[in-house]
Every structure is written in C-alpha cells, then in structure tokens.
Structure 1
Amino acid sequence: MASFLSVISEILPMIMPSSTRITRAKQLEPPHPTVEGPVILREAIVNKCDKMCASVLTTRPNSCSTIRHNSEQDAIVYAISGNGILVVNQGLGMDLKTHDLSPGDFAFIPAWTEHQVKNETEEDIVWLIIQSGPRPIGADLADWGGDMITIRN
C-alpha cells in the first residue's frame, strides 16, 4: 500500500498540474521616491509551493540590511541591478567575509549563516532572493553573533 501511495504522489502532478502563478515586474517596483525605508522586501512568489519562495530586495543608496540568518532555509541571492556587498559570517567566531556582487552575480547562503547586504553607492541595488521554503523565514540579529531582535515566520 505504501508503494502505491508513492507512485500516486509521483504521477498526480503530471495528471493534475498546479496552476502557474505570474508576478509582474511592475508589482515589485518600489515607488520613487520611496519613504519605505533603506531596505524594501517585496514578496514575488510566496506560499505557492512547499519547496521554494522568491522575494525582491531593494537596498537604497548608502544603506544596509540588518544582520540576519534564514533559519533552516538555504538561500540564493541574484544581483539584478546595482553593485553591492554581501557580508557573511563564515565561521564559528567572527570570520566576516565580504563579497562584491555586480549585476548577474549569484551567491549561495547556507541555512543559519549570518549575513548582511550593503549598498555603498548612490543608486538602488535590486537583489532576487530565492529561499528553500514556502515563505521567507529567519531572524534579524542585534549584531554579528548577537541576540535575535525580530523573528520572521
């Protein structure tokens, strides 16, 4: 019986595929000038499947995100426009590594890895964030290795 259920779970998506979801770029553009803050996160594809989600992060000129981790979710960051910096705590101590990201660059951030994005330029930076879960989760931290100040579930 268990093998029958596994066969059905593999075949069912082929017989009854789920519907396609479209999020238009216009829906994700921040208004200019914006008063939303230095970092604007817009959900692109969230709660549409159980294995991944996507958001667009806009980092305003001369600003940075909070220090954060994505809990148990792995993340892929894709630089859409602008030149920014990804800072990652790569070790158990304070082994901070900086990575310059330009349009077209990808970065993989493993689960529980503390990171921050920075914009030290005079133009917006736009990042595509893909996470391994139905919606973004994680925590904003007070500092590197610091206490959680906000939990995102």
Structure 2
Amino acid sequence: MCGMANEDTMYALVSCDYAKSIWSQSHLPIPINMTNVFYTWFSELLNILDTNQVIHAAAILYYIWRARNGAVWDACLPRPRRVLASAAAVVHAWKQAHPSRDHTPMQHATGLPNAVVQNAQVRQQQGVAENTLQPPETHAPLLK
C-alpha cells in the first residue's frame, strides 16, 4: 500500500502512515508501538480498551485491511475518514443485530459528526440489503 517491500501485518494495519492517520482520528487509546509483532500490540490493545472500544477497534482493523486490498487490487484507497465511517456503521449494524448483548452507548469514538456516522450507517444498511444473496436451488437430497 505504501510501497514498502516488506509489508507485514503490523506495518499494514498499524505502522504505515495511512493506518497511523486512521488510528489517530479514531480517538481510541492506542498502545505505543514498542514492537513490530502484531499479536503483542493487539494484546496490549485488548488490555486498555473496554468492550465497545474493542468492537470498534476490530472494525477499524477490518476496514484498514479492506482499504489495503482495494489499494493493491483496485488502485483505489479511501480517505481515512471514510474508513472510520464504515467501521462506525458496521459496529452500529452489529449492535442492532445483537440487541440481547449488554452494550453501553458508544460515544462516537470515530470523532466524526453524527450526520456523517448516520449517513454511513444508512448506506451500510442499504448495501447489505442490496447485496443479500439467496442460496441457489439444489436438487441434491442432502442439501434440502
């Protein structure tokens, strides 16, 4: 994504300038990077975040990874605020789909205005509805 020869997991998701920009705009308390080992960094992250923040951090990691794949395969890199808006929308959708779990209201860790987050949530829901796949009909007796 950044043109580095050895882009490992830690670099792609945390250390490159693009990822650093996303993490700094997320307003999450991110551990200081003292290691180049992703699972060590992630373990530290789990120790300092509450449940809602962990969910949000997981969504950010996922969308950074998607952005990286888009840069590699489609030559398209979304702006960091778009990555954060997508992460916020998917967290909101996940919480709506899992209402029985105890979630305290998230204080918009993205730092984005409410209108931006709500717009991203609506677009995320529309995209999910438009891309709903139905399983193909089958005549195999074991699959019925």
| TM-score clears 0.5 | no
Which TM-score tier does this pair reach, normalised by the shorter chain?
under 0.3
More helix by share: 2
More strand by share: 1
Task: State the structure with bigger RCO (CA 8 A, min sep 6), 1 or 2.
Answer: 1
